[in-house]
Structure 1
């Protein structure tokens, strides 16, 4: 279910291909999972497993996708890249923060999207890039 809250409703997730361990910290200023040439001012998190799955599957890198349970250390705001642009309100429960987030665990039993759906998303992102519309509002 795409907009289903993961866990008890207070769990935040981050999808990536980076190999991390509990206690590691994700900080702003690193390259985007989606645009490796674009360092970001924010760290992005979500409360839905579906959104974290997309992050893990679409992340740049050769390793396997990973989904981490994270703990924000600062204020969160709605992610403007999806909120009201793609989905009215914030049903994906996607957020961003200028503060670091701490890894507290890893979800290992998540299931990826079907190959044809994943390819459809990749094709859509490539089309945005070709049109110069692959802008991340950061």
Structure 2
């Protein structure tokens, strides 16, 4: 892949994706109750997945941690629900195909050929999120 992801475009595999900075292996389970990728040392009550490369890329780029961003192909083991942080607040109708679950999610592969957002777009997003945090508006419904 040679260009940044297209918003709202379902990944060609049709698989669920999870963006993070965690170093995982095929077979690993993502489970709620661990440190969240987002928020200040918050414990995650859900695992978040998406079917769009764009949303997974944002997850990989914005996740807490110092490691490189990674995008994993994952398989939910239980029911999914729309992610209210995205669908209720920003994109009604769930065009980002973003979901969450309280059940484990199994890593079944990793995308290695993804391209991140342009540096200016990433910087703008980080500044926006930092401003929301400063204003106390960066709450996550988890």
TM-score tier by shorter-chain length is over 0.9
- Pairwise CA RMSD of aligned residues? 0.8
Any gaps of 5 or more consecutive residues in structure 2? 1-5
SS class of match (1:14)? strand
Regions of 4+ moved over 2 Å: none
Deviation string 1:10-59 (CA, Å, 9 cap, x unpaired) is: x1000000000100000001122121411011000000000000000001
Aligned length: 137
Q: Give the structure 2 partner of residue 2 of structure 1.
A: 7
2:131 paired residue number: 127
**Match of 1:70?**
74
Deviation (angstroms), 1:8: 4.0
Q: Structure 1 residues 36 and 4 mapped into 2: Cα distance closer, same or farther (>3 Å)?
A: same
Please show how residues 22-37 of structure 1 align to structure 2 within 5 Å.
22-37=26-41
Q: 1:82 matched to which residue of 2?
A: 86
2:54 is aligned, of 33, 43, 50, to 50
Question: Are residues 1:106 and 2:107 paired?
Answer: no
Structure 1 residue 84 displacement after superposition: 2.6
Structure 2 CA distance for aligned equivalents of residues 36 and 53 of structure 1: 20
1:14 matched to 2:13: no
Alignment deviations for residues 55-95 of structure 1 (CA, whole Å, 9 cap, x no partner): 00001111100000000000000000000311121000000
Measured in 2, the distance between the counterparts of 1:84 and 1:38 equals 21
Q: Please, what TM-score do these two structures have when normalized by structure 1?
A: 0.97
Q: Classify the secondary structure of the residue corresponding to 1:81.
A: helix
